[in-house]
Chain A
Amino acid sequence: MSALPESPRSRLVHGERRPLSAVERTWGLVGFHLTLLRRTWRGLVVSRFLTPVLFLAAMGIGIGRLVDRSSGGVAGVPYLQYVVPGIVMASAMQWAVGESTWPVMTLIKWNQMYAAMLAAPTRVADVLRAHWVVVSFGIAWGSGVFIAIAALFGGVRSWWALLGVPIAVLTAMAFVAPLFWFAARTDNEEGFTTIFRLVITPLMLFSGTFFPVSQLPIWLQPVAWVTPLWHGTELARPAFLGDPLDPGHGAGWAIHLAVLTAYVVVGGWGAHRAFRARLEA
């Protein structure tokens, strides 16, 4: 074919090609996700923002008024301010689940674009890294905008609330990594509906997002402790209330951080293994 490049550095020249750095490989793959987002972002904005904003209005404002009237708020602050970090983390979780179920299945199985990526000089680790970078940025952006909206309604009392953005990303990744693992091992999409309805909804409702876990029956409380959402919310709430390290709870923040990180690391390890098994058969 004509018009081939003159530069000997070009990767179009026959012979051994210049290897790609990890950054180049990731960036090339990120380009795919961004191109796809250009087509789909409108629908996403509606579905991903509407839910948290509706919950903000219903819980924070509607029920909040009832709570404040009866109990004078929760943990010494108006209920709206108490619940905002919970909603931020719960929506980060839902966003994470949305990104790591059907879309992953599409790329694995339906359009097999992951396989197309792996026909290029990339490896499974690059494929996962690129996808997770895109998901993380989406969640960072989404939670940032939501925190700003909540602030307009008087739901945020401290600039420390901005820490909610990285915490939301970490919490989301604590779901994304294990769910990618699950998605790579499943062949049946009905499992996703089950996860959504029978796992994610109860997690959202019973992980200290809308009321302190101490309100739960005693036997249910340890269940909350193992969920990433509870750790994310516990980590974020003191920051939203103006005291990120929450001295009242000692090294609690470090434990939350460690648990969330463990979810990401173990989930990432499993996802990598499962992806290799599935895509490099």
Chain B
Amino acid sequence: MTDDVLLSAKGLTKTFGDFTAVDGIDVEVRRGESFGFLGPNGAGKSSTMRMVAAVSPVTSGELRIFGQDPATHGPAIRARLGNCPQQDRLDEELSVEENLWVYGRFFGLTRAEVRARADELLDFAQLTERRKDKVEPLSGGMKRRLVIARSLINNPELLLLDEPTTGLDPQARHVLWDRLFRLKRQGVTLILTTHYMDEAEQLCDRLVVMDHGRIVAEGSPRALIQEHSTREVVEVRYDVDDHGVHAGPLEGIGDRLEILPDRVLIYADDGDAAAGAVARSGTEPLSTLVRRSTLEDVFLHLTGRTLVD
């Protein structure tokens, strides 16, 4: 059923001059899936998304969206997908609803279709009350919601969201997740990028971790955690400048230690037991916290760096 593969990339590469932003990645996304790109700043997520959105030419490798080549079928592809770019790209002099109307017209929708669609989407984005207001004074989160609403104006089959919730407060994020779930249930395929582990765990059936333009791991959130981390993690903080000084006494507790500037992470399947061992180590921690392992830990393990600083 190749018909059900909405995105297929083989050896997809993007270079800017000498710099390789995306370095030969292989990805496949099927209809109805929700798929995530996870990675730190500069990993190449946006560069990938822009190629997938058929707005940025592929340097090398093969890319098919809806089975079509963006180099030759750009407009046909763009007509079917929704694109929420990382930057808002709103005309701030226009009103909220005008931004939706003009954008809908770019897709060749009729005036009536655009109006009806805009009404629904304003509701979706909880912006109905602000519809007549200029965009300029809106809060960053409102603008973000408007951009997401705008990307849905053409009723896309595939929705691309580049950091959809950056700048949203926690409550607005949860509301948005809920909306995206509903879209997914209606059969819309989602591809998103994020820095947020909880977002990736909530929204993605499957994800890839990107670093330096390469894919370093792939799988469902649960599988990735199982493969690259332990069930639980103990976070230990000390009143010292360099947490490395405690590496010695803690050695041997749990499966693995990770020393960060501000804390020590102990990976263990039984967190409570590990915490007990820390208490007996004589290191006098300020605090000890046992939590479940997350994608953050996966990322840390894979790249040796934290994701959100």
Q: Do chains A and B touch in the complex (CB under 8 A)?
A: yes
Give chain A's interface residues, CB within 8 Å of chain B: 1-5, 10-20, 24-25, 27-29, 31-32, 35-36, 39-40, 111-113, 115-123, 280-281
Q: Which residues of A contact B16 (CB under 8 A)?
A: 281
Considering only residues 77-133 of chain B, those with a C-beta below 8 Å from chain A are 78-80, 83, 85, 87, 89-94, 98, 101-103, 105-110, 113, 116-117, 120, 124
CB distance from A4 to the nearest CB of B (A): 6
* Chain B positions within 8 Å of A20 at CB level: 75, 79, 107-108
The verdict on B154 contacting chain A, using a C-beta distance below 8 Å, is: yes
Q: Which residues of B contact A29 (CB under 8 A)?
A: 105-106
Query: Given A28-B105, A121-B79, 7 other A-B contacts at CB below 8 A?
Result: A10-B109, A19-B79, A20-B79, A32-B106, A116-B106, A120-B107, A122-B75
B107 pairs with A280, CB closer than 8 A: no
Cα A51 to Cα B47 with chains together (Å): 46
Contact B80 A16 (CB under 8 A): yes
Q: Which residues of B contact A13 (CB under 8 A)?
A: 155
Residues of A within 8 A of B110 (CB): 10
Say yes or no for B38: interface residue by CB 8 A criterion. Answer: no
List of B residues within 8 angstroms of A115 by Cβ: 55, 85, 89
A31–B109 Cα distance when bound, in Å, is 12
The binding surface of chain A is classed by DSSP as loop
Given contacts A19-B75, A25-B108, A120-B106, contact A5 B157 (CB under 8 A): no
Partner of A31, one of B53, B83, B105, B157: B105
Which B residues fall within an 8 A CB radius of A?
A: 16, 53, 55-57, 66, 74-76, 78-80, 83, 85, 87, 89-94, 98, 101-103, 105-110, 113, 116-117, 120, 124, 152, 154-155, 157, 186
Question: Which residues of the partner chain A approach B55 to less than 8 Å between Cβ atoms?
Answer: 115, 118-119, 280
Ranked 4 nearest A-B pairs via Cβ: A120-B106, A121-B75, A28-B105, A17-B79
A153 to B125, CA, bound (A): 56
A122–B89 alpha-carbon span in the complex (Å): 16
Complex interface: chain B residues within 8 A of A35 (CB):
94, 98, 101-102
Task: Judge whether A123 and B75 touch: CB under 8 Å.
Answer: yes
Q: Which residues of B contact A39 (CB under 8 A)?
A: 93-94
User: Contacts A16-B76, A120-B78; is A2 near B108 (CB within 8 Å)?
Assistant: no
Given contacts A3-B116, A40-B93, A115-B55, are A19 and B76 in contact (CB under 8 A)? yes
Complex interface: chain A residues within 8 A of B152 (CB): 1
Chain A residues, CB < 8 A from B87: 112
Complex interface: chain A residues within 8 A of B124 (CB): 1
Say whether, besides A12-B155, A111-B90, A119 and B105 are in contact (CB < 8 Å).
no
| Most central of B53, B66, B89, B90 by chain A CB within 10 Å | B89
Q: Known: A19-B76, A28-B105, A121-B108. Is A10-B113 also a contact (CB below 8 A)?
A: yes
Q: How far is the CB of B83 from chain A (nearest CB, A)?
A: 4
B80 touches A1 (CB 8 A): no
Q: Quick one: which of B94, B102, B120, B186 has the most chain A CB within 10 A? A: B102
Scoring A2, A28, A121 by chain B CB atoms within 10 A of each residue's CB, the highest score goes to A121
Closest A-chain residue to B75, C-beta based?
A121
